[in-house]
């Protein structure tokens, strides 16, 4: 082979000082040497400092008793448990607050983003005002505001404030009564009776937190769950059938309403038939405390509230930009084909907008998760405050603890960006290959 293959042309000799390849190699070697030297210096300093301050090293502390309490935990935890367990408690709390924040922020963000594009001038302006106000105030300011100014001064348990539909109706009745003329008074009476008929509110707020109804599961709950599952399976089957029918006959089917009917209707029927084996225990004030219901600590409430409203403003901008990115030509072309407005949105605008929205939306989810570390400022026991706060305070092992904390968030970030990279590549592959 080598005899017949044409010989590579000989590179003319270049003065190594001016050979770009030599230069590139030298620069890179120098950079690596510099990094190595820096790393060595850091290692030397760390060792000297640790010896001087007599601080333990290694990850042995994971197995040691933590000795501090945590005021919210999804798994059983007490002071005698280890730092390792405290770490898990913190991680779960971070995931909890992030997950709930993400769900609410997405809902609120989409509503506001769409509202900003509303032809209704008032709605669009209010949505715009919300975004401007929220985006231009620091997140920590908002967390502090909710926690320090709104939640902390709330009345004690006995004077809990009820939240829900009933207090709103009651307010309306009071307002009408205040107007003080005959018709308004008559209306106030009616509304008042309606308020009484609704019954007491289900959610209470006091300086110990937010009390929400607690679900209960009696015998027969399994059947209700099975009904729910059956509803979901039936919905999937129905969707496949509807798709096939559309393909075969061109007939559309009200998939959305049918899905709701199946997913909600089936379990509801089971509930009624079985006499409500699943339901919510309404919290009730007895003496100095509530019976029934779950108490969400104020730190959690403040954090979820602030993260949700803050991130929603950014999501709203993402959604708005996504919808605006679908050019007018697209909607016009779809409309010119005779597609009804609803279908233009469903078939042309939303699929295109979602592709634009998804990457920055994921980024916002990531930001929300990272921002949940601000919990440290109000003492919500997330990963950061449990670990880099309490654990670091007691053990003093700053290097290990901060490194682990950073590693956790870094992992979440990198995994998310890898997933996004994959998503983008797939989209581009489908459209531009």
Q: How far is the CB of 12 from another protein (least distance, A)?
A: 20
Picking from 364, 357, 375, the residue whose alpha carbon sits closest to that of residue 306 is 375
85 vs 383: CA distance, rounded Å: 11
Among 2, 4, 54, 136, binds another protein (CB under 8 A): 136
- How distant, in Å, are the alpha carbons of 179, 269, 389 from that of 228? 48, 10, 43
Among 24, 156, 190, 273, binds another protein (CB under 8 A): 24
Does the protein bind another protein through residue 33 (CB under 8 A)? no
Closer residue to another protein, CB minimum distance, 128 or 279: 128
Q: What residues between 379 and 398 interact with another protein by CB under 8 A?
A: 384, 388, 392, 398
- Asked if residue 392 lies in contact with residue 402, where contact means CB atoms within 8 angstroms, the answer is yes
Q: Which of the stretches 179-187, 263-271, 315-323, 343-351 binds another protein when contact is defined by CB under 8 A? A: 343-351
189 vs 199: CA distance, rounded Å: 16
Q: Which of the stretches 69-77, 145-153, 183-191, 285-293 binds another protein when contact is defined by CB under 8 A? A: 145-153
Q: Is the dihedral of CA 377, 381, 387, 389 positive or negative?
A: positive
Q: How far is the CB of 422 from another protein (least distance, A)?
A: 16
Does the protein bind another protein through residue 141 (CB under 8 A)? yes
Among 36, 103, 135, 222, binds another protein (CB under 8 A): 135
Does the protein bind another protein through residue 76 (CB under 8 A)? no
Q: Which two tokens stand for residue 141?
A: 């300011």
Residues 6+ apart with CB under 8 A from 110: 315, 316, 319
Q: Which two tokens stand for residue 212?
A: 């929400």
Does the protein bind another protein through residue 370 (CB under 8 A)? yes
Does the protein bind another protein through residue 371 (CB under 8 A)? yes
Does the protein bind another protein through residue 17 (CB under 8 A)? no
Q: What residues between 399 and 428 interact with another protein by CB under 8 A?
A: 399, 402-403, 405-406, 409-410, 413-414, 417
Closer residue to another protein, CB minimum distance, 123 or 268: 123
Does the protein bind another protein through residue 11 (CB under 8 A)? no
Q: What residues between 161 and 220 interact with another protein by CB under 8 A?
A: none
Query: CA 413, 414, 419 angle in degrees (round to 5)?
Result: 100
260 vs 241: CA distance, rounded Å: 16
Picking from 113, 101, 119, the residue whose alpha carbon sits closest to that of residue 353 is 113
Q: How far is the CB of 329 from another protein (least distance, A)?
A: 4
Residues 6+ apart with CB under 8 A from 159: 206
How many residues sit in the footprint of another protein (CB under 8 A)?
A: 84
Residues 6+ apart with CB under 8 A from 387: 86, 87, 90, 401, 404, 405
Does the protein bind another protein through residue 68 (CB under 8 A)? no
Among 263, 348, 357, 361, binds another protein (CB under 8 A): 348
Q: What residues between 243 and 262 interact with another protein by CB under 8 A?
A: 246-252
Q: What residues between 318 and 337 interact with another protein by CB under 8 A?
A: 327, 329-330, 332-337
């Amino acid at each position: 082979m080598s005899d017949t293959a044409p010989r590579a042309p000989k590179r003319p000799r270049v003065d190594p000082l001016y050979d770009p390849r030599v230069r590139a190699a030298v620069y890179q070697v120098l950079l690596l040497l510099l990094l190595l030297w820096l790393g060595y210096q850091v290692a030397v300093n760390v060792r000297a400092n640790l010896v001087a301050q007599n601080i333990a090293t290694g990850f042995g502390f994971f197995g040691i008793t933590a000795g501090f309490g945590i005021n919210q935990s999804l798994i059983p935890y007490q002071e005698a448990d280890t730092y390792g367990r405290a770490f898990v408690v913190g991680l779960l709390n971070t995931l909890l607050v992030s997950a709930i924040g993400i769900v609410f922020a997405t809902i609120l963000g989409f509503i506001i983003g769409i509202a900003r594009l509303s032809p209704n001038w008032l709605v669009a302006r209010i949505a715009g005002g919300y975004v401007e106000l929220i985006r231009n105030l620091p997140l920590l300011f908002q967390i502090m505001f909710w926690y320090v100014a709104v939640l902390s001064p709330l009345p004690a348990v006995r004077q809990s404030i009820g939240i829900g539909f009933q207090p709103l109706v009651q307010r309306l009745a009071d307002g009408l009564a205040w107007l003080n003329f005959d018709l308004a008074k008559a209306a106030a009476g009616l509304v008042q009776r309606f308020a009484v008929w609704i019954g007491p509110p289900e959610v209470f707020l006091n300086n110990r937190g937010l009390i929400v109804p607690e679900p209960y599961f009696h015998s027969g709950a399994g059947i209700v769950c099975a009904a729910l599952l059956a509803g979901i399976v039936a919905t999937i089957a129905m969707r496949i059938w509807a798709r096939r029918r559309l393909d075969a006959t061109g007939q559309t089917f009200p998939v959305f309403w049918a899905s709701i009917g199946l997913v909600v209707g089936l379990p509801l029927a089971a509930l009624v038939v079985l006499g409500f084996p699943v339901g919510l225990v309404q919290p009730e004030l007895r003496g100095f405390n509530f019976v029934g219901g779950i108490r969400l600590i104020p730190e959690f409430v403040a954090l979820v509230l602030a993260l949700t409203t803050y991130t929603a403003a950014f999501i709203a901008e993402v959604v708005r930009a996504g919808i605006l990115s679908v050019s007018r030509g697209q909607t016009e072309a779809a409309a010119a084909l005779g597609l009804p407005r609803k279908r233009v949105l469903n078939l042309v605008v939303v699929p295109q907008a979602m592709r634009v929205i998804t990457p920055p939306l994921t980024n916002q989810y990531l930001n929300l998760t990272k921002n949940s570390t601000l919990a440290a400022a109000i003492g919500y026991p997330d990963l950061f405050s449990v670990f880099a706060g309490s654990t670091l305070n007691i053990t003093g092992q700053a290097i290990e603890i901060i490194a682990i904390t950073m590693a956790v968030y870094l992992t979440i970030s990198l995994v998310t960006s890898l997933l996004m990279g994959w998503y983008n590549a797939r989209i581009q592959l489908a459209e531009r290959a």
